[in-house]
Amino acid sequence: MARKEQLIESKPKSRVYQSPRLSKTEPLLPQKSSGIYINRELSLISFNERVLSLGQDRSIPILERLKYLCIVANNLDELFEIRVAGLKARSHEELGHSQLPDGLTIEETLTILGKRTQSLVQLQYEILNKSVIPELKKEGINLLNFLELDNQQKRWASAYFKNNVLPILTPLGLDPLHPFPKVLNKSLNFIIEMQGKDSYGRKGRVAIVQAPRLLSRIIEIPKKNKVTEITFINLSSLIEAHATSIFPGMEILGIFQFRVTRNSDLYVDDEEVTDLRQALKGELSQRNYGDAVRIETDKAISSFCLNYLLTEFKLETKDCYLVDGPVNLGRLITLPDCVAKPNLKFKLFSPKYPEYLKGGDLLFDYLKREDILLHHPYECFDVVAEFINNAAEDKNVVAIFQTIYRTGSTSGLMRSLINAVNKGKEVTVILELMARFDEETNINWASKLEEIGAHVVFGVVGNKTHAKMCLIVRQEGKKLIRYCHLGTGNYHPKTAKLYTDFSLLTSNKSISTEIHEIFQRLTGLGKVKSLRHIWQSPFRLHKNVIRAIKNEMMITKGGGKGKIVARMNSLVETQVIDALYEASNCGVSIELLVRGVCMLRPGVAGLSDNITVRSTVGRFLEHSRIFFFRNNGKNDLFLSSADWMDRNFFRRVEIAFPIFNESLKKRVFDEGLQIHFTENAINWRMSSDGSYQLRKSSSNQTISCQDGLLKKYS
């Protein structure tokens, strides 16, 4: 067995891991479904169940556990805004009878998905109320409703409501002249049931109050003298407690919070659009008012108010989620930042700046000698930022080519590019306008860059530019030398601290020449040239992955040892799954690390006996894509921006790039793949029915791969 395939010898120090309640998720498939694929939407719910398990893990600091509950809430928002909304739209068009790849119809999928999500949400609030809030209280952090405050706190809260909340509320009484208002996607609202007559003699029955988004959803109540406890009240509780102040003189029968999730996918007709930016601006203005797909409301809501809301939003009872707590649970993610208690959070760490780069040389000088590999967030993203900033400042740099998918509303990278333009360099930016939920940010950056003279290109209509590439062209003597950065993650300073990704900086002529060719394709017109080293979609990435899988089959049939190890966020493309099944039947050893959705069914006799699937969830979001093919000991290894999904293979501009340097290749293999497959690594193992079990070693001593890497790079 090759050295790269052996278990690592130097293991991080073990710690006991307490298995949470969700140590095994329920099977994803109903009894009648025996297809060879797992349902995509149900697999996504299973991923969120694994994330929710971290909210139950008592070895994790309590404020971090609260964050996991909020992350699940935000994930479910996107599930409904995009996936459920899309299925519902298809169901209306196709009467719900169309079969999905796993064999379930759309209607069956929506039914099972609804039941699973209802259970997940119920557990989410159970963890919040029975575990997280009581444990926060023990630590001196109180998250209370208005009735739980003492008299002094109530007086303060009432004054706060009168001075800071009431002046910006607009109560809307509903009658023939005041129809039901447009309710913004995911906004906090209240429906009020009342009786009585107002000063105009109008009979009141129903009213709506919309909470402005600028209001903080949690409000800190000032401490009493010498009191160390911190007390917060939810905005929803504060508004509910003061309904009579909003509707003076009326008898309030009930006030109930609610929140509506709408279809938020943008549609732009590739064949009809003439100006993508203008078309997107028009779509963005309507995103918050798409068709309703879910409603969340207080579990105590009256049947009258519930039926009223369901009728207005054209929803059914199954689309309603009754919750025991704030409907906008995701907004509680700001609470940990309001509390200065480091012992209740993950231990702070500073991403490591590589020692070998501290000699003072320009990165360009170092890259003439050898490549640089960075493993984020363990190693700091500052090196990448420095690479681009150096290019902006260096008088010898003549051109910068850059792709942007997500970079944030404030970005040092974008400031560097603007600086480069101002210094007279040729700057070309391939800026993806269709990056979901970042469209407006990217439109704003495009305008700023164009105003100062940068070349801004919006990629290829119908193919999102998702590849992470930066190419620097530098005049050195009489030659133009290319340097490039290639990565698995975005050029986003915030996510670079939260996502695990790899970066490669290189001056390798073969790689940099092909990257330049890709940029030329994106900005200009011309026939596709064959790339020898880089696999690019939508042209060759899919074919090359299939070919590499088939090659391992041929090697195994010839008496060799075929081996595939790959990690990604999602695995859903059925041709690749079929090829993996075929390879498994030939005896190829296949190990897959799939963080989220996986439609492949591992461990099925006669189909996938030699395939194992694991999933790692933890402090950081596992985001790297790594493809390893043993190839008779050549150990081909690629880093990529692409998951194994239809969209990445056929409807996006993606790249998979090889690591040539053997020592760097070993680092990627060891840190990005092998550590997750050690016997005592903490991760989830997928069963053939689509359920997941938390893996535990026989000694019950397990290690976190992320903790091990944090220790290594600290």
Active site residues: 466
Name the amino acid, one letter, at 699: S
Q: What share of the chain is helix, strand, coil (3-state, %, to 5)?
A: 40, 25, 35
- Residue 246: CB atoms within 10 A of its CB come to 20
Residue 366 buriedness (CB in 10 A; 0-12 / 13-18 / 19+): middle
**How far is it, in rounded angstroms, from Cα 2 to Cα 348?**
37
- Reduced to 3 states, what is the DSSP secondary structure of residue 253? strand
Contact 386, 360 (CB under 8 A): no
Give the H/E segment covering residue 501.
Answer: strand 499-506
Cα–Cα distance measured from residue 382 to residue 344, given in angstroms and rounded to the nearest whole number:
28
Range 489-523 burial, b when 16+ CB lie within 10 A, else e: bbbbbebbeebbbbbbbbbbeebbebbbbbbebbe
Strands 563-568 and 455-457: unpaired
Residue with tokens 């040389």: 361
CA distances, 390 to each of 363, 386, 393, 431 (Å)? 8, 6, 5, 21
| DSSP, res 204 | P
Query: For every residue of 317-352, which 3-state class applies, written as one string?
Result: HHHEEEECCCCCHHHHHHHHHHCCCHHHCCCCCCCE
Tell me if 403 sits within 8 A of 467, measured CB to CB: yes
- The identity of residue 628, as a single letter, is F
Contact 51, 71 (CB under 8 A): yes
Of the candidates 571, 580, 591, which has an alpha carbon nearest to the alpha carbon of residue 676? 591
238 class by beta-carbon count within 10 Å (0-12 exposed, 13-18 middle, 19+ buried): buried
Q: Crossing angle for the helix pair 62-78 and 106-127, nearest 10 degrees?
A: 160
For the four alpha carbons of 107, 113, 118 and 121, in that order, the dihedral sign comes to negative
Residue 334 backbone dihedrals phi, psi, to 5 degrees: -80, -15
- Supply the DSSP symbol for 461: T
Which run of H or E residues covers position 207? strand 206-210
- Following CA atoms 88, 90, 94, 96 in sequence, which dihedral angle do they give, to the nearest 10 degrees? -40
Measured in Å, how far apart are the chain's first and last C-alpha atoms?
31
Residue 411 CA to residue 455 CA, distance in Å, equals 18
Angle, alpha carbons 467-471-474 (nearest 5°): 180
> 710, 660, 702, 662: which is closest to 681 by C-alpha?
702
Cα–Cα distance between 442 and 449 in angstroms, integer?
Answer: 11
Q: Where are the alpha helices (DSSP H) in 175-302?
A: 235-241, 243-246, 276-287
CA angle 679, 682, 683 (to 5 degrees): 100
